[in-house]
Every structure is written in C-alpha cells, then in structure tokens.
Structure 1
C-alpha cells in the first residue's frame, strides 16, 4: 500500500491516489471506502459522516490477481466552512479472499479471510484555532492500605477544534509526598481515559491530598487543568500492631483461671 498518509490544507478540491498490490498467491476482492476517524488510547472508531462525505472514490471495488497492482484515485471536496473534528478521515482498504463453503453434519458455513488497511486522510486547520480541554472525571479509592496499589482514573474531554497532546501529573501529599506522571493525546470531540497507579510506602499514613494537574497547549499556552480528591492511608504496621494486640487480649481472656482455696481452722 502506498502512500500511507495524506494531508491537505485549505478548502476546495484536492486529489490523491493510492496503489494497492496483491502479494499473496490467490485472487483478492478489494473494496476502498471513505471513513471519518475518532480514536483515543483504547479505541478506534470509523464513522460515515464528516470527511467521509467529502471523499469521492472513482474505482473503489475491483479484483486483484496474485502480483497485480491497481491505482485508486480519489477526490476530497472540502466545504468553505467546516469543523476540524470532521476533517480527520481515512481510506479503508478491505481485501477478502473468495468465499469457501464448508459443510459438516448438514450445516453449511461460508468462510472468507479478510485484511484491512487504514490510510489516514487529514484536512488542515480551518481558520481560528480553539484549544479547550476539560477534566470530565477524576475517581479513585477513598481508603488505601499501605503497600497495596491504588488505581486512579481520569477522563479528558476535548471540546476544541484541534488535536491536543497533554501531560498529566498526579501529586500525592501528606506525611510524605509522591508524584506520578502520564500523558496522551485526544482528538476534537473525543474523550481520553487514563489510569494512574500509586502504592503507599511503609511509612505513609494518614489523610493524603491527591491533586491532578493536566498541562496542554499545542499552539498557545493554556492554564493547567486541576482536580483533586482525598484518600486515607492506613499503614501496614498499624494493622499488624492492632492484630497482635487483639490476639494477645483474646488469648489472655481465654486463659483458664486457677480457683482460690480457702481454709478455715476451728478449735
């Protein structure tokens, strides 16, 4: 597959073409369709709106013999006014082998092997750049035991019109201070979910403030996003002391008592 990515700038009509080849030893049935892309760190969605409606493919369905190549041409008609979140798309190239029927005990099954290749098609920025991220949620445990890992989750929403990279920092402050860092990227109109892990040490104890700070700003400096919560840390050594104390008290309370013998001598 060549090329593997297209980038166009400005409104109007843009042209492109890809070359699809068949390196396998059997005939392939190929279809090329247009899609809009939304993705985060976990998911990739291919939608049929936005830029998918702007792309016109001239010869999007054909058959390739082994070793054969075919050039596929397409046009992108960018409207005069558009939202950047609609302008991240792709050509989805799907290649399938001829169907094979397998019959077993009266049941017929049709099998087709398929391969898919995604070729991104991106249209440049539409005028004014809007950078706007927000922390949708920040959750985590309210109670932690020392030396046991705690999992904190946060979700970032991009309500601007450009793709944003960001770095996140979770600062845990109390008897001792700790810092956990992460980062990622989020497309316009999409949300990004991430997980941060923190394990209290042997000396951590008491009430801790967990503050999340997210820095971003691809084109201009932006104020960091802030969110915080509280977690109570119970140290392991305190649990051990309490367990030993309760055990000692229980054993002592169950210890048999020796009865007292009183003698009275009368003359």
Structure 2
C-alpha cells in the first residue's frame, strides 16, 4: 500500500509523512478525529461529521487549520488522489507540538492529518449473518460526546469481547447500555419500537444514529430515546449497531444469548436499506 496522505497542508506518500514526537496527540491524546464513509467516490453524511468536528474542537479549544470550504476540498481531493471508490477517510486534529506539560501550551500550530482506507462498506459479509456482542463495564471518561483519540479502553473492551468469542463489545454503566466500543447501540422491542439511548455526555453523538432515527420516524416506526438495560437488550426482538462505516449492522447474540430469531431482523434490514438509499442520493 502506498497511499497519499494529507499532513499540515502537504500531500505526501505515507512513508514520508512525519509528526513531531512532541505532538500532544502522541503525548496526551490531546486530539480529536472523525471518520467519513466513501461510496462511489462520494462522501456520505459529510455535513454531520463536519458539524461534530466543530463541536469537538470547540470543546477542547483546538483550532481547525482549515475553513469549512477548504476542509471539504481536502476530503474530495484525497479521494481522487487515492482513487477511493469505497472505504473511509480518517481525519485527526491535535493541539500540535510543544514541550511536555499538562497545561495547554499557548500559540501552538494544530496538526491536521487525513488518510484513506479502501474497504467494503456496502457489501460487508457480516450484514447477512449479524454479529455477536459481549457486555463489559464502561470505564471511560465522562465526556464521551467529544470524539477524542483516547481509545485505549474501547480497544481493550473489543479485545476482551473477542477473547470471549464475540465480535464486539457493548459497554454498560449503572446497569444500562451506553454504546458499543465504536458504534451506537440500538434495540427493537417486541412491539416494534426502536429504542436508543438519548444524547448526553455519556455517549458519542452518532451521525448515523441521528440519520437512522429520522428515517425510522419517517417510516412510521415508533422511536424511544431512553436508556435500556442488558436484560432488556437480551429480550429484544432485534438489536443492531450504527456507525459511519457499518451503517446498520444487526446484532444476533448478546453474551451468548440469541436475539429474536438469531438472524438479522426485518426492521434492521429495512433501516439499513433506507439509510443507503437516502445517503447515496445526498452524497457529495
């Protein structure tokens, strides 16, 4: 693989892209990130990701080096330079390089990085089978609405889930599911109601989550934004996750217990199809 990446205004081959060892993203995880899906060479749900990027940078007091128009242009350019038909764009902004100190340094130049990953997002083979989930305690910090790069615990949780024979983890706090290791958690009750946790600092404000809720309501599917327990999830008719690169991905087992009929359910499949159709129509 020999990708062209973007680093602080320069287009470089990935082997030539270098960042200071004093960068605060490296030393303190003092950085935020976004991931945007690409299908047919176009950006999916870009406006939502750009808005959440603005929220994250504002909350941490990090300045984005590019204005909105220039940032969009870089996203489009990196797709062309790497001939990405389907995959994702990863963006990361750190506070920049400074001598190591816990206090925020003044007048640093932010570090802005973008790179691509070519991978199937429409024809993920797990769509047909669904995935299995293991529940684990949520031991993260309490500002999960900020999309920071401090992802060590979600990585640990995912690996523990894999060690238990599951595909991924759902994190649990005070008996209630917060979210997945890298996705929003949803269930469908026996009466066909879509249930997902309400927005707060306890979860990332998922862009795909918001789109799916709108699509569900427009389709006449009842939606309840409330917390749900692990027992409620295990007893649900359906369960699924949403994220920028999984769209809607069914969950068929939780802690070894079969959900519904043990296959992707009709509402999950309906919402995935509706999401793909609507987002392809609005891709830029």
Fold similarity call, TM over 0.5: no
| Rg larger for | 1
TM-score, normalised to structure 1's length? 0.22
Q: Which has the higher strand share?
A: 1
Q: Which has the higher contact order (CA 8 A, sep 6+)?
A: 2
Q: Which has the higher helix share?
A: 2
TM-score, normalised to structure 2's length? 0.21
